[in-house]
Amino acid sequence: MMHPSRQAYVEEANEMEGINLADLPVDRDYVIPPSMAGVPAEKASAIFSQFERKRRAAAMAVPTDDTRVRARLRELGEPITLFGEGPADRRDRLRELLTDIAEQQEAAAAEEDIEMEEAADEEEGEQQEEFYTEGTEDLLKARKDIARFSLPRAKARVARQREESTIPLRTHIKHRKAIKEKLHNFDLYGSQIAGDRPVSICRFAPDGQTIATGNWGGGIRLLTVPNLEEKLSVKGHTDRVGGLSWFPGATLPESNVSESSVNLVSGGGDGNVCLWSLNNDKPLATLEGHTERVCRTEFHPSGKYLASASYDTTWRLWDVETTTELLLQEGHSREVYTVAFNNDGSLLASGGLDSIGRVWDLRTGRTVMILEGHIREIFGLDWGVDGYRILSGSGDGWVKCWDLRQVKNSGGIGAHKSVVSDVRWYKGTESETASFLPTTEGQASRMEVDGAPAPVQPKKSGTFFVTSGFDKNVNIFSADDWSLIKTLSGHSGNVLSADVSYDAQWIASCGHDRTVKLWGIE
């Protein structure tokens, strides 16, 4: 209690009730003088950059051994020591140099990313449109003829596949196992020099008794099997031969293809496509139109047409009888290297140095599928006998399998340590006497006791494929589980091409060592 004498000096006042926080006045109209604003933004940014640089330098891996520090400085073109500099100072100087180099590389990468983004924006601004060129009346007739030829073959193939679907799995496994055991017996049989320059391509004749080879000198040689004796030698091109293909049914006794008619087609570095007989050293016809090197040529299964792939970024379709160009097909951004027809004759696959493959419907001219997945050039393409699978060999060392039914990549094999130069699927005979591949028990030719035909047996054709590569090897792969069956080593240089005979008895290969090697089943 306060003494009464002091109460007179205390002013009576009301008790403070306080103020609500929301009622506090807010003044947004103010200016802070520069002298009172703290650190300027530019200086703050410099400080943060310095901290970031110190953090990066601390994380930089620098040798602790002074000898290695001196060696690294010498590699960078810097003085290995400065006046009065000790090992610790020298190590800090190396750390600073490495940090500077890392920052310069990041700045260059960021600038490149900006340029790529600007280029991408420009490309997005340009509309990419698919265009069609009006074809000739001859092309229309050819498309109709191809449709009439391919549809019955496709019908027969599907019927055969329906029959094969009834084959027990145990029979398939036994059949594939027997074929693998047989393929393990492949070994080198003979070797022959086939040119003064590297031999770029080799292809077996349909009867398996002749090998056609082309070399970088522009020459074509026919070699006998198995002695590899020269049967015919012609000089058809002024530059390297890239494509060789036999006419369907040529050299077969039951065929109506005579030696004096078209038996072989070749493509060369001079841009020409030549048609050859077997009894003349001059071409029957020369097809001109490509402006660059022709890399591959293939006959249509009907024999009426042929396709050629060229470095002029196009592939072309030709009429064999009239030797006229029916179609000039664009679609690749870079050189086209290879083409292949399916067994029905309705589709054509093309691949090139743009690492992209395309499947074309010859009856309509439309793109059916784009084979996108390789990171290097596509050098080899081949169709399976089932009509819906394609193998592609690339410079990335991979062989990929593409399924037209699923419209996607269905498998891949790291086939070679380097470039895959060629890929060939075995498409041979099902005859028990003509084929060197084993036949399962209960051949289709035998009859059951009650007179009914024996169950359908698995096909030999399409059970394996061969690849050639720049690792100097030829590999045999199973087309069932994609396993490597055997590696054939013998070339002293890059292997440029390989092929399998119709009866599966022989494999031929050729390459930079100027030789053709024949591999046989013991």
CA distance 402 to 398: 13
DSSP-assigned letters across all residues of 71-86: HHHHHTT--S--TT--
Quick: pLDDT tens for 239-281: 999 999 999 999 998 888 999 999 999 999 999 999 999 999 9
- Residue 255: what pLDDT? 87
12 within domain boundaries: no
11 within domain boundaries: no
- Residue 83: what pLDDT? 84
* Number of domains comprising the chain: 1
505 within domain boundaries: yes
CA quadruple 405, 411, 416, 418: dihedral positive or negative? positive
19 within domain boundaries: no
Closest of 284, 234, 286 to residue 261, by C-alpha = 284
Sheet holding 241-246, edge to edge: 241-246, 264-268, 273-276, 285-287
Quick: pLDDT tens for 5-31: 555 555 554 555 666 666 666 665 555
DSSP state of 522: -
Omega prior to 301 cis, within 30 of 0: no
Amino acid (one-letter) located at 208: G
Range of the domain at 146: 138-431+458-520
Q: Which residues pair with 502 in a beta bridge?
A: none
CA distance 63 to 217: 55
- Residue 107: what pLDDT? 77
Average pLDDT, the chain: 86
Amino acid (one-letter) located at 367: T
Determine what percent of the chain is predicted with pLDDT higher than 90: 60
SS3 470: coil
CA distance 509 to 263: 21
285 within domain boundaries: yes
Is the pLDDT score of 125 beyond 80? no
- Residue 352: what pLDDT? 93
Quick: pLDDT tens for 87-99: 888 888 888 888 8
44 within domain boundaries: no
Q: What tokens appear for 94 in the block? A: 């190396």
Cα dist from 458 to 42, 339, 386, whole Å? 79, 29, 12
What is the CATH classification number for the domain harbouring 483? 2.130.10.10
More confident residue, 483 or 40: 483
CA distance 471 to 416: 7
- Residue 239: what pLDDT? 92
Q: Which secondary-structure segment (H or E) carries 106?
A: helix 87-125
- Residue 33: what pLDDT? 54
272 within domain boundaries: yes
168 within domain boundaries: yes
